[in-house]
Amino acid sequence: MNAVETHNIVKTFGDIHALDDVSIEFEEGIVYGLLGPNGAGKTTLIRVLTTLLKPDSGSASVAGVDVVNDPVGARHKIGLAGQFAAVDEYQTGRENVEMVGRLYNLGKAEARSRAADVLERINLADSADRQVKTYSGGMRRRLDLATTMVGKPDVLFLDEPTTGVDLASRLSLWDLIEELVEGGTTLLLTTQYLEEADRLADRIAVIDHGKLIAEGTPDELKGKLGGDVVEIHVRDEDKFNALESLTRIAAEDPKVEGNSLSILAPDGSRTLTAVVRELDSAAIEPMDIALRKPTLDDVFLTLTGHKAVDENQRVVARSRRRGGS
């Protein structure tokens, strides 16, 4: 039995095709990553799969239960942590987890003991009896995660679990998520960060404007990109020559974006060194040169020929990636 199956899901809001014929399926016990920029449809798909939204057409099932026709049955099998931690500020961490446990139909004693277990696992046992309003952002996310675990769901849905979270918290959240999955929970997580999908997911589906545009293991996906990228920033007058130099080194045409040129770097730092030497011998002094890991934009440029987000949204996306709020 597949953990999650969707067939031809369509969901429109007025003129917007939030989900356009989306079909995915995956088996139990894996982490499935749904990768895409803001507005791609990730949250909409999660809402359909967690019975919060009914699709216009198509079918979906979670742990063998049809989410459209048997939403109540489906809810027993799922756990959802949305983009914004939905924890109650004025209750303690423990009270929050116990409350959700009761809503999963656990008896009082069982809710209490499971809550204690779960709080221990996410390292909040010490702060469990403080009100959530005293918690940091990272702690809130962890608590949110804890509340999804108390019901021992078959399939866990995490919608952008680390967006807007600072780097240290992000790393510890990743550790936590990996631990979770070790226990055998199936996980569908959505993200804008290729790095996150790469680290956590066994398989990734890339979604853009409501359509699935690629699917595969992280390696397969990165294989399409050829790995890391060397990116240089040059002055206007050097652009033409720099382009020539890069074309000599790279297997494919360099990508150009304003004064920024980039080529795939399959050999990592060797490619970087080659670029430096080539520019040097051409007497070009770049304003900036870097070897960087592929980002969502690179994925999208390769798959769709356009960037993941338009220029206006880039600034917001960048500051988010740096861990700003």
Partner 1 sequence: MHTATITKRNVLRFIRIPQLLLFSTVQPVMFLLLFNFVFGGAITTGTPAGSDQYINWLIPGILVQSAAFGATATAMGLTEDLTTGVIDRFRSLPMARSAVLTGRTLADLVRNTFVFSLMLAVGYLMGWRFEQGFWKMAVGFGVALLFGYSFSWVMAAVGLAVKTPEAAQSAGFLPIFPLVFASSIFVPTSSMPDWLQTFAEVQPVTIVANTVRSLMVPEEALGFLGLDQGTLILQSLAWIVVIIAVFAPLSVRQYKKAVG
Q: Of the candidates 28, 56, 66, 88, which one interacts with partner 1 according to CB under 8 A? A: 88
Q: Residue 80 and residue 87: Cα distance in Å, rounded?
A: 12
Q: Of the candidates 29, 57, 69, 84, which one interacts with partner 1 according to CB under 8 A? A: 84
90-98, 186-194, 218-226, 246-254 -> range binding partner 1 (CB under 8 A): 90-98
297: left (phi over 0), alpha (psi -120 to 50) or beta: alpha
DSSP 8-state assignment for residue 134:
G
- Taking the C-alpha atoms of 298, 280, 248 and 233 in order, what is their torsion angle to the nearest 10 degrees? 30
The alpha carbon of residue 319 and the mean position of all alpha carbons in its chain are separated, in whole angstroms, by 16
CA 282 vs CA 135, 238, 242, 271: distances in Å: 56, 10, 8, 16
21-29, 70-78, 115-123, 315-323 -> range binding partner 1 (CB under 8 A): 70-78
Q: Of the candidates 63, 100, 221, 274, which one interacts with partner 1 according to CB under 8 A? A: 100
Q: Of the candidates 6, 44, 51, 192, which one interacts with partner 1 according to CB under 8 A? A: 51
Is 129 or 253 the residue whose CB approaches partner 1 more closely? 129
User: Considering the complex, what minimum distance in angstroms separates the CB of residue 102 from partner 1?
Assistant: 5
Q: Does 95 bind partner 1 (CB under 8 A)?
A: yes
Q: Does 173 bind partner 1 (CB under 8 A)?
A: no
User: Considering the complex, what minimum distance in angstroms separates the CB of residue 7 from partner 1?
Assistant: 21
Q: Does 69 bind partner 1 (CB under 8 A)?
A: no
Q: Does 91 bind partner 1 (CB under 8 A)?
A: yes
Which single residue is written with the structure tokens 């959505």? 190
* Phi, psi at 229, each rounded to 5°: -130, 135
CB atoms within 10 A of CB 37: 20
Is 12 or 83 the residue whose CB approaches partner 1 more closely? 83
Q: Of the candidates 22, 40, 48, 80, which one interacts with partner 1 according to CB under 8 A? A: 80
Sheet holding 16-27, edge to edge: 16-27, 2-13, 57-62, 65-66
Q: Is 52 helix (H, G, I), strand (E, B) or coil?
A: coil
Q: Which of residues 225-264 bind partner 1 (CB under 8 A)?
A: none
DSSP string, 225-292: HTS-EEEEE--GGGHHHHHHHHHHH-SSPPEEETTEEEEE-TTTHHHHHHHHHHHHHTT---SEEEEE
User: Considering the complex, what minimum distance in angstroms separates the CB of residue 99 from partner 1?
Assistant: 6
* Phi, psi at 166, each rounded to 5°: -70, 160
Q: Does 102 bind partner 1 (CB under 8 A)?
A: yes
Q: Of the candidates 37, 44, 75, 203, which one interacts with partner 1 according to CB under 8 A? A: 75
Q: Residue 278 and residue 261: Cα distance in Å, rounded?
A: 14
Q: Residue 300 and residue 307: Cα distance in Å, rounded?
A: 5
Q: Of the candidates 104, 202, 260, 276, which one interacts with partner 1 according to CB under 8 A? A: 104
Is 15 or 90 the residue whose CB approaches partner 1 more closely? 90
81-89, 168-176, 201-209, 228-236 -> range binding partner 1 (CB under 8 A): 81-89
Q: Does 76 bind partner 1 (CB under 8 A)?
A: yes
Q: Which of residues 16-35 bind partner 1 (CB under 8 A)?
A: none
Q: Does 68 bind partner 1 (CB under 8 A)?
A: no
Which residues are near partner 1 by CB under 8 A?
50-53, 72, 75-76, 78, 80, 82-84, 86, 88, 90-91, 95, 99-100, 102-105, 131, 147, 151
